[in-house]
């Protein structure tokens, strides 16, 4: 067991061996075993890992260039989907009804504004930095003032237990979930909600694009032409396969006759469905971690440790609802209280 002594107002943590080092948090001398590389100060609670050393940042420029390329591709793709979808879909929609077309323009504007704004907040907003704390000398740091803090060799300052250092952003991020190259930023305490909102709006937008491109494609697709004259006398599974092959061949032949508007609709459908599948999986993963009260990195570091409470209140707190839903239902609350009082009176 470690013990604290105070000769001349200097606290020393003693162990069995006589290896002396200094705590980075409070500056006090600590006696640790010679084989130990990780220790915790008995006064301030700071954790020192002498095996960790600062590595070079030679790949930082390449990571920064990668993130910039990904952001540019994502923005160009979203603009193409918006502009190409309006150009390819809305002539068909307005040909059906002016009111129908106006309604879809309003839906498109709402989805576009929400998606672009949430993407901008997630990509260009600081992901969240840990709070500054006092450290370095004994009179400044009180008892347990740096409990479970570690020292970041990259930032050269204390790192809270909830923070992780991102080499791509070159700073510590509070409640870091992961570094996403598609937004060129980390997902942390300050922009996690914006990132999840972007995923939700992107899922809704890709679903809408897939439905509308299919609806418009049915109106502009050339008619299919095929014959089943040679299929007489064939029955069962062979007949079904033959019909399927005929329809597939007619479908491919008609695709060669598509107009540029039709080709854009095909691309929008394929890309939107592909993105919808990937974004849905990512959104489900994010919501499941929030439900468990974890982030992606904390999930990796605490596999097999189920101390976090799984509760829907984690989702409520994450999205900023400070009060329970029953607070907004006073009638239900009063009725419930009266029912409890009546039962107590009867008993």
Render the burial of 130-164: b for 16+ CB within 10 Å, e for the rest. Answer: beeeebeebeebeeebbeebbbbeeeeebbbebbb
How far from chain centre, in Å, is Cα 346?
53
- Phi and psi based region of residue 319 (left: phi greater than 0; alpha: psi -120 to 50; beta: remaining): alpha
Token output for 180: 């996403």
Cβ–Cβ < 8 Å for 333, 326 = yes
CA distances from 40 to 21, 36, 131, 140, 150 (A): 12, 11, 21, 18, 9
Taking the C-alpha atoms of residue 71 and residue 211, their distance in angstroms, rounded to an integer, is 26
Taking the C-alpha atoms of residue 232 and residue 201, their distance in angstroms, rounded to an integer, is 51
The dihedrals phi and psi of 158, each to the nearest 5 degrees, come to -65, 150
- Among all residues, which ones are annotated catalytic? 180
DSSP H or E run through 157: strand 157-159
The dihedrals phi and psi of 150, each to the nearest 5 degrees, come to -125, 170
Radius of gyration for the chain, computed over Cα atoms and rounded to the nearest angstrom? 31
In terms of C-beta density within 10 A (0-12 exposed, 13-18 middle, 19 or more buried), how is residue 293 classed? middle
Neighbours of 105 (CB within 10 A): 14
Measured at the CA of 268, the angle between CA 267 and CA 274, to 5 degrees, comes to 90
In terms of C-beta density within 10 A (0-12 exposed, 13-18 middle, 19 or more buried), how is residue 241 classed? exposed
């Amino acid at each position: 067991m470690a013990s604290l002594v105070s000769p001349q107002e200097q606290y020393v943590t003693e162990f069995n061996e006589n290896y002396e080092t200094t705590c980075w948090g409070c500056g006090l001398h600590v006696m640790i075993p010679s084989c130990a590389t990780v220790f915790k100060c008995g006064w301030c609670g700071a954790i020192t890992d002498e095996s960790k050393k600062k590595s070079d940042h030679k790949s930082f420029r390449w990571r920064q260039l990668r993130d910039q390329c990904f952001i540019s591709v994502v923005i160009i793709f979203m603009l193409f989907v918006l502009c190409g979808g309006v150009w390819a879909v809305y002539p068909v929609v307005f040909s059906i009804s002016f009111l129908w077309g106006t309604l879809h323009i309003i839906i498109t504007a709402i989805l576009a504004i929400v998606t672009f704004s949430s993407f901008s907040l997630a990509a260009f907003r600081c992901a969240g930095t840990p709070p500054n704390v006092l450290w370095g000398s004994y009179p400044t740091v009180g008892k347990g003032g740096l409990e479970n803090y570690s020292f970041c060799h990259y930032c050269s300052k204390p790192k809270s237990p909830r923070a992780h250092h991102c080499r791509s952003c070159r700073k510590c991020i509070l409640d870091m979930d992961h570094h996403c190259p598609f937004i060129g930023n980390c997902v942390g305490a300050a922009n996690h909600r914006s990132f999840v909102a972007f995923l939700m709006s992107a899922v809704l937008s890709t679903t809408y694009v897939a439905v509308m491109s299919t609806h418009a494609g049915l109106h502009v697709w050339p008619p299919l032409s095929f014959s089943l004259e040679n299929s007489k006398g064939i029955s069962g599974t062979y007949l079904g396969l033959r019909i399927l092959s005929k329809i597939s061949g007619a479908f491919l032949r008609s695709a060669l006759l598509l107009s540029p508007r039709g080709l854009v609709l095909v691309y929008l459908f394929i890309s939107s469905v592909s993105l919808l599948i990937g974004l849905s999986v990512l959104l489900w993963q994010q919501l499941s971690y929030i439900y468990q009260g974890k982030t992606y990195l904390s999930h990796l570091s605490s596999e097999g440790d189920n101390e976090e409470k799984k509760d829907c209140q984690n989702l409520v707190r994450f999205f900023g609802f400070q009060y329970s839903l029953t607070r907004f239902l006073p009638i239900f609350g009063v009725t419930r209280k009266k029912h409890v009082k009546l039962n107590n009176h009867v008993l």
